[in-house]
Structure 1
Amino acid sequence: MAFLIDQIRAAWTDKQTNVVMFSATAIALYGYDQGMMSMINTNHDYLSTMNIASTSPLVGIIVSVYYLGCAVGAVLFSKLADRYGRKKSIFLSLASAALGNLIMFLAGLGYRRGAIGVMFIGRVVMGLGVGGIDSVIPTYSSELSDDDARGKALAQEFQSNIFGLVMAFAINLAVTRALGKENQWAWRIPIVVMQVYPVLLMGFVERLPESPRWFVYNGREEDAKEALKDIYGDEGDDKFEELMSAHEKERENGDSVSYLDMVTPGHAQFHPTVIVIMGQINQALTGYGAVSVYGPQIFELLGFSIFMSEDLTLANYISYFGLMTFAWLLIDAMGRRKLLINGSIFLTSCFLAMAICGGLAIHANQLHIPGIIPGIIGTITLFIATGSFGIGWLATVWLVPTEIYPTTARAQGTAISVIVWGIANFAITLLTPIMFNNLSYFIFLVFAVTNAIAGVWTWIYLPESGGRSFEDNQQFFIEAKEAGSWRVTKVCGGEFGIMKYPDPEQNGEVLVDAERVPLLRRVEDQLPSIE
């Protein structure tokens, strides 16, 4: 017991642990919304209050407009993060999410006329806040993590995102079973419970250190020194010298980068911006935004009843949360490219299998086979696909933009990532109900093809950014310009197609090809040490 208390006390006082725990809880807001809306969409009182039919396109529009709010919030709060600091921007993002959540809770409470308009406003305002969180938190967390632990930190945060998803769906399922789909509190309670996240986090922001990189970029070297000592203790002075050296190199490349610069062909930041944009488009093409929001409908396509589909959806989310542990164990051990490419291979295979299972389940009577068999096989396959997405794609595409930009463009780059994510998921969540109604189980075939496309693009164009410093990763784009090619195999002899890892034979002071270090050893290095 004393050991456990000491560990908790150490975690409470360690600033890096504080950052990871705070960031993880904040990212959980995104997951909570997905789990929350998946069952609210089927609540009869909710549909009646909003005066819409269950098959109306407005059901999908209410869900998807949130993502447009996220896109706008990413730009707004990333600008605030650059001007006033990461902490202030995070606080205001949380306040916006809390306000939006409150507006959603009040939509139609005691009235019906105009309820849908209030719900739209709430979804957009909450989207603004969550978009800010999704753009600023990964940047902030990455700037306070070591080069060989950035992936682990962000993957742990996104595991918390899945915890939010599980928590929301479980609460939703419990109150729906207890109160019934005709009761308004079956959909209002899950909304108001979400308020716990932003309110508690706003009270915790003051404990966090500000980003030393932001201090240096704004000419506040003494504040940066103090922040680094607060975070790293005795190593703070060495970290400060490294940070100042990196800052001087960045200054040689110019002090400011606009959003227009980043999407202008020929500009130094255009190439990394295309990488970021395609990463988010490819993540949307995996189809898992749709699976998260419309989980019960997926299981209904596999032949299960409504109640069983809801139970299986919760089980799938719980499995999702557990399997995310492999994401933070592997992301800094195998690298970004391998996880993404292998994730696409698994997802393509799984969706092909699910298309077959869906077809067999629907036509089981004509084929004289028990419908439960393809349903069971399809369910197992979906569980595998969900884990493959979580390990390979969930956190990785959010990590890349925090690693490949200079400080002058990092907030904008992460914001662009959220903008594209918002627009892409707006389209996917809007179109998914339409595809359910018109394509039936052929929707799985569509996702199989899009996953294959995502994997091929990643293999050709995505450089491996794991195990390298921010400055090393920026060198790839300089070399690519000189080589006249964006193909990873054509730049630096294909060096950026492999993961770099500290060589244990040289006390980790030299980076080598990760394949020279056994995977088991690399995974063990990611496990927390017990002293």
Structure 2
Amino acid sequence: MSNPPLPPDLDSPSETNSPQPKRWVSQKRAIVLFSSIAIALYGYDQGMMSLVNTNHSYLRTMGISGDSSMVGVIVSVYYLGCLVGAIIASDMADKKGRKLAIKACLYTTVVGNLLMFVPGLFPWTSDVTWRGGSCALMLIGRVVLGLGVGGIDATIPVYSSELSKDGARGSALAKEFQANIVGLFLAFGFNVGFTSWLGKESQWAWRLPIILMQVFPWVLIFIVKSLPESPRWFISEDRVDDARKALVGLHGEIRADEFLDEFHRAQQQESDEKIGYLDMFKRDGSQFHPTMVTIMGQVNQALTGYGAVSVYGPQIFELLGLGIWEAEMTTLLNYFIYMVMMTVAWKKIDVVGRRSLMLWGSVGLAACFGLLAIFGGLALDFFRGPNLTIEILGSTVLVVSTSIFGICWLATVWLIPTEIYPSGARAQGSAISVIVWGLANFAVTFLTPLGFNYLKYWLFVVFAATNVFAGWWTWRFSPETGGRSFEENQEFFVTAKAEGSWVVKKVDGGKFQRMPPKQQDVANAEDGEVAKDNPSENTPLLGQFSESR
């Protein structure tokens, strides 16, 4: 028996309001699935490069040694592409729509990935370096891939949050980031499998994991037409008819007009003034304060050190005394536990709150990195050789710290920018988040190999200190945005300006230090909860009634 047809593209000119055939999957679930696979692209790239960096054929093709600074440059230049891609994609998302921007980013990742695959492959010559051309082409490929993935990272959280209810925005995004870790785990697993089968001297041990990345964008390109454009974006562009079509596709004729009316009124209440990047960075600009919260969130996430752990996992386990094979297998186990523990993140992020998770995460990570510095020192300077007790203790602590990061820091800093800006600045705010993420991770992934060479286990002491700073800044300046509507979160910044303080405990009597109690029950509601009778900016676009159609 064949599956029922997919829903028509809501952007299609031939779209009508006639009853549509029953879907094999609801649009709500399709959106979450699509967003999850898209976010998994980023995780796959991290896991993919972990063992590519140590492949002997890859190093020969690039014309570099294993301890060359170019290893870090090739990895980190990707993040520069991400920040440029975020700017381009966010502008396109505002002008042309979220869906078109996502499509453009997907095709860009296809091109970038192919450019990474071909260096030294053809024409067949004895000089696999192509007289330096292989390395140059790899660098170009990394930048182009970054353009696509950075654009996806900037647009997907906005797209997803605009179609999620306030009490479940965190859960939705955390589920997407669990898929991010699935991508990381799969990529590293493929690397381990191909390396074990073909060996580190084989070019296919590093080429195959790279080209397998093509599966992600092509699957996404295939299904993107079945997804709706954001009705909120249509409203912001005064495309009322298109917004209604999208809402009919989501909720049916009866509910569509109710939502349309409320979203239109919410849009009219916002300032008609175009919010540009300059206004977001000017000290007296209307969005300067939320922009600083966004920037420091990403800086602090980078300071946790987990960009380094994700990309250079095997090398970090080697600092704890493990051999090469043991380090690779332990890294694979670490990623698997990382993936599983993200379940705790999406179950708790809308219950505990973003701020509390980040605070406790910083405390836990600082303690873990302090212990890792001790274990690393014992392994390298005291025992000066393999020691099973130190290897087990050190590896256990690193696995625990990875779980802490996943639960407390991975999704939270991506979620906050989607919750604190008005709709006219939401895409720009998300783009700024990706830009800062790109710059911060460029620095971390570029400097980490140097840290391995010169600091060794003292690198853990550095990360312990940076986690202390991240926790302090979060406690003092980062408001709790969970369980509140977009408008309610913007009240924090209005009040902070009026009271002349950015310190959370001093703004509005410390109201934004924690989740609002009245929203706790909403946060625990089932995903299929029906929308409130009076839809507004804080009402779910995706409810049970859309699944039952």
Give, in whole Å, the separation in 2 of the partners of 1:401 and 1:245. Answer: 23
Does 1:429 pair with 2:429? no
Q: Which range moved further: 286-295 or 469-478?
A: 469-478
Deviation of 1:10 after TM superposition, in Å, equals 8.6
Q: Which range moved further: 234-243 or 133-142?
A: 234-243
2:430 alignment partner AA: T
Question: Percent identity over the alignment?
Answer: 55
User: Which of 191, 194, 197 is the matching residue for 2:210?
Assistant: 191
Give, in whole Å, the separation in 2 of the partners of 1:226 and 1:400. Answer: 29
1:86 alignment partner AA: R
Give, in whole Å, the separation in 2 of the partners of 1:490 and 1:12. Answer: 51
Q: CA RMSD in A?
A: 1.8
The 3-state SS of whatever aligns with 2:351 is coil
2:309 alignment partner AA: V
What residue is the counterpart of 1:475 in the other structure?
491
What residue is the counterpart of 1:378 in the other structure?
394
The 3-state SS of whatever aligns with 2:129 is coil
What residue is the counterpart of 2:266 in the other structure?
246
User: Which of 59, 68, 71 is the matching residue for 1:59?
Assistant: 71
Deviation of 1:468 after TM superposition, in Å, equals 0.7
Q: Which range moved further: 222-231 or 29-38?
A: 222-231
The 3-state SS of whatever aligns with 1:194 is helix
Structure 1: runs of 5 or more not aligned: 1-8, 502-510
Q: Deviations over 1:451-505 (max 9, x none)?
A: 110011001111111111111111111111000000111111111111025xxxx
Deviation of 1:226 after TM superposition, in Å, equals 2.1
Give, in whole Å, the separation in 2 of the partners of 1:66 and 1:410. Answer: 24
- The alpha-carbon distance between structure 1 residues 358 and 201, as it changes in their structure 2 partners (threshold 3 A), is same
What residue is the counterpart of 1:269 in the other structure?
287
What residue is the counterpart of 1:119 in the other structure?
138
Verify the 8 A CA contact 1:148 1:332 in the aligned structure 2.
yes
- The alpha-carbon distance between structure 1 residues 10 and 463, as it changes in their structure 2 partners (threshold 3 A), is farther
What residue is the counterpart of 1:508 in the other structure?
none
Give, in whole Å, the separation in 1 of the partners of 2:250 and 2:395. Answer: 45
What residue is the counterpart of 1:49 in the other structure?
61
Deviation of 1:268 after TM superposition, in Å, equals 1.0
1:418 alignment partner AA: V
What residue is the counterpart of 1:331 in the other structure?
349
Does 1:150 pair with 2:166? no
Give, in whole Å, the separation in 2 of the partners of 1:242 and 1:327. Answer: 32
Verify the 8 A CA contact 2:235 2:243 in the aligned structure 1.
yes
Deviation of 1:375 after TM superposition, in Å, equals 1.5
Give, in whole Å, the separation in 2 of the partners of 1:500 and 1:329. Answer: 17
The 3-state SS of whatever aligns with 1:333 is helix
Verify the 8 A CA contact 1:361 1:372 in the aligned structure 2.
no
The 3-state SS of whatever aligns with 1:384 is helix
1:492 alignment partner AA: D
1:379 alignment partner AA: S
What residue is the counterpart of 1:356 in the other structure?
374
Give, in whole Å, the separation in 2 of the partners of 1:339 and 1:293. Answer: 24
What residue is the counterpart of 1:452 in the other structure?
468
Map 1:123-272 → 2, pairs under 5 A: 123-233=142-252, 234-250=254-270, 253-272=271-290
Give, in whole Å, the separation in 1 of the partners of 2:341 and 2:24. Answer: 26
Deviation of 1:20 after TM superposition, in Å, equals 0.6
Q: Deviations over 1:156-177 (max 9, x none)?
A: 0000000000000000000001
Deviation of 1:12 after TM superposition, in Å, equals 4.1
User: Which of 326, 331, 336 is the matching residue for 1:308?
Assistant: 326
Give, in whole Å, the separation in 2 of the partners of 1:10 and 1:485. Answer: 53
User: Which of 421, 429, 433 is the matching residue for 1:417?
Assistant: 433
Give, in whole Å, the separation in 2 of the partners of 1:103 and 1:458. Answer: 40
The 3-state SS of whatever aligns with 2:166 is coil
Deviation of 1:199 after TM superposition, in Å, equals 1.0
Deviation of 1:435 after TM superposition, in Å, equals 0.4
Q: Deviations over 1:504-527 (max 9, x none)?
A: xxxxxxx35x5xx7xxx965x367
- The alpha-carbon distance between structure 1 residues 193 and 45, as it changes in their structure 2 partners (threshold 3 A), is same
Give, in whole Å, the separation in 2 of the partners of 1:522 and 1:212. Answer: 23
Give, in whole Å, the separation in 2 of the partners of 1:22 and 1:214. Answer: 19
Structure 2: runs of 5 or more not aligned: 1-20, 123-127, 530-543
Q: Deviations over 1:119-167 (max 9, x none)?
A: 0110000000000000000000000111111111100000000000000
2:460 alignment partner AA: F
Verify the 8 A CA contact 1:148 1:466 in the aligned structure 2.
yes
What residue is the counterpart of 1:507 in the other structure?
none
Q: Deviations over 1:264-283 (max 9, x none)?
A: 00111000000000000000
What residue is the counterpart of 2:15 in the other structure?
none
Verify the 8 A CA contact 1:162 1:317 in the aligned structure 2.
yes
Give, in whole Å, the separation in 2 of the partners of 1:58 and 1:326. Answer: 37
- The alpha-carbon distance between structure 1 residues 390 and 93, as it changes in their structure 2 partners (threshold 3 A), is same
Matched residue count: 503
Q: Which range moved further: 55-64 or 354-363?
A: 354-363
Deviation of 1:16 after TM superposition, in Å, equals 1.4
Verify the 8 A CA contact 1:11 1:17 in the aligned structure 2.
no
1:306 alignment partner AA: I
Deviation of 1:429 after TM superposition, in Å, equals 0.1
Verify the 8 A CA contact 1:362 1:371 in the aligned structure 2.
no
User: Which of 316, 320, 338 is the matching residue for 1:298?
Assistant: 316
Does 1:37 pair with 2:57? no
Verify the 8 A CA contact 1:11 1:18 in the aligned structure 2.
no
Deviation of 1:40 after TM superposition, in Å, equals 0.2
The 3-state SS of whatever aligns with 1:52 is coil
1:32 alignment partner AA: Y
Normalising by structure 1, report the TM-score. Answer: 0.92
Normalising by structure 2, report the TM-score. Answer: 0.89
What residue is the counterpart of 2:362 in the other structure?
344
Deviation of 1:360 after TM superposition, in Å, equals 1.4
Give, in whole Å, the separation in 1 of the partners of 2:381 and 2:453. Answer: 17
2:118 alignment partner AA: L
Give, in whole Å, the separation in 2 of the partners of 1:142 and 1:407. Answer: 11
User: Which of 369, 382, 394 is the matching residue for 2:410?
Assistant: 394
Does 1:80 pair with 2:92? yes
